[in-house]
Amino acid sequence: MSPVWASVFGVGAATIVLKATGPVLLGRRELPSWLAGPVSLLAPAVLAAFVVTQALGGHREIVADARLVGLGAGAIAVALRAPILAVVVVAAAATALTRLLT
Amino acid sequence: MRSRFLEGAGMIAPVGVAAFLFALSFGVLARAAGMGLAAPLVMSATTFAGSAQFAVASVLGSAGSAGAAIAAAVMLNARYAPIGISIAPAFHGSLPRRLLQSQLIVDETWAMTIRRKGGFDLQVLLGAGAVLYLCWNVGTALGLILGNVISDPNDLGLDAAFAALFLALLVPQLRGRREVTAAMLGGGIALALIPFVPVGVPIVAGAAGSLVGWMRG
């Protein structure tokens, strides 16, 4: 098999398994109590990790660039209780503008 | 049931536009990487996870091995195990049904569905997932066929837009001390690890922040 198709099948199979693990093994019932506690905190922990990696992540380096301007503008929009769509548009526009000007 | 499916579809629509643009550029990149036409289409249909697909195209494009491509993608998608566990109780159907429905879990459908006022709802996730799936696969096909019609989506600031989206979804989660601790640990661990581990691992390690946050809280 060519490296391309080996990658497609390998990555596809692995991703299907990773996504299905929780719903297939633990679906249809409440989470066991020892798991439910930490899982209730998973959303803030993972979302914070998303923000950090999306705004500062590079290939094994922390990169501070125009994304931070956009995130800052987005943060102001969040603080002003703007709707999500506005937050996203403001962040994209501020970043695009910064990239255009620098 | 139908109305909640449509609620999810409507909620995710703006993200769908961004996903469509990233899919276009995945199509272009995949073709430039010598993946042909069929393989990227199959990949978007089965893997349905942006960052991992970009990683594979980039590894193969620089003459990397399938093993390297798979390893990079698995590390990037490892986060779906904890994410899937967190919403597992919402999946009600038979085993094949749960297996299929779980494939519509992606960062954005998960994050937008958990913030919903009425609580997490499977139909909302499926509605959102269906829209994103469509945008992702149509975008991939068009990118493969049309080639370089748009500039890099990041010129439009879409990378920062996703950071801001996750921030907007994070803030309402910070309801108490435990949640704030978990977020600080998750973000802090991820940041500290970025320089030292492959892409994707900082997020999984950040997820462990919820464990520590729970024990400390």
ipTM of this predicted structure: 0.94
Q: Which of B181, B190, B165 is nearest to B214 (CA)?
A: B181
Which pLDDT score is estimated for B154?
Answer: 87
- Our CA dihedral for B157, B44, B123, B77, rounded to 10 degrees, sits at -80
Which pLDDT score is estimated for A65?
Answer: 96
pLDDT in tens, B4-33: 999 999 999 999 999 999 999 999 999 999
> Residue B215 contacts by C-beta under 8 Å, 6 or more apart in sequence?
none
Residue B217 pLDDT exceeds 70: no
- In the chain, the amino acid numbered B67 is G
User: What whole-number percentage of chain B has pLDDT above 90?
Assistant: 83
| Mean pLDDT computed over B139-145 | 95
SS3 A57: strand
User: A25: which chain B residues are within 8 Å (Cβ-Cβ)?
Assistant: 88
Which pLDDT score is estimated for B191?
Answer: 97
Q: Which of B127, B94, B95 is nearest to B109 (CA)?
A: B127
Residue A73 pLDDT exceeds 90: yes
Residue A59 pLDDT exceeds 90: no
By Cβ distance, the residue of B154, B180, B194 closest to A62 is B194
SS3 B79: coil
pLDDT category of residue A78 using cuts at 50, 70 and 90: very high
Q: How far B197 CA lies from chain A's nearest CA (Å)?
A: 6
Which of A1, A2, A11 is the best residue to mutate to test the B interface, defined by the most B CB atoms within 10 Å of its own CB? A11
Residue A50 pLDDT exceeds 90: yes
Cα–Cα distance measured from residue B211 to residue B152, given in angstroms and rounded to the nearest whole number: 38
- Interface A–B counts its CB contacts (< 8 A) at 332
User: What whole-number percentage of chain B has pLDDT above 70?
Assistant: 100
Q: Give A68's Cβ-side CA count (13 Å radius).
A: 6
Residue B208 pLDDT exceeds 70: yes
Q: How far A41 CA lies from chain B's nearest CA (Å)?
A: 5
Residue B75 pLDDT exceeds 70: yes
pLDDT category of residue A22 using cuts at 50, 70 and 90: very high
Residue B81 pLDDT exceeds 90: yes
| Mean pLDDT computed over A2-17 | 97
User: What whole-number percentage of chain A has pLDDT above 70?
Assistant: 100
pLDDT in tens, B82-111: 999 999 999 999 999 999 999 999 999 999
Residue A7 pLDDT exceeds 80: yes
Which of A2, A47, A89, A98 is the best residue to mutate to test the B interface, defined by the most B CB atoms within 10 Å of its own CB? A47
Residue B183 pLDDT exceeds 70: yes
Q: What is the mean pLDDT of chain B?
A: 93
**Burial class of A61 by CB neighbour count within 10 A (0 to 12, 13 to 18, 19+):** exposed
pLDDT category of residue B123 using cuts at 50, 70 and 90: very high
Q: How far B4 CA lies from chain A's nearest CA (Å)?
A: 19
Cα–Cα distance measured from residue B96 to residue A26, given in angstroms and rounded to the nearest whole number: 14
- In the block, which residue shows the tokens 């992606």? B106
More confident of the two residues A1 and B74? B74
Residue A26 pLDDT exceeds 90: yes
Which pLDDT score is estimated for A1?
Answer: 82
Alpha helices in B62-176 (DSSP H): 66-77, 80-87, 95-102, 107-114, 122-146, 158-170
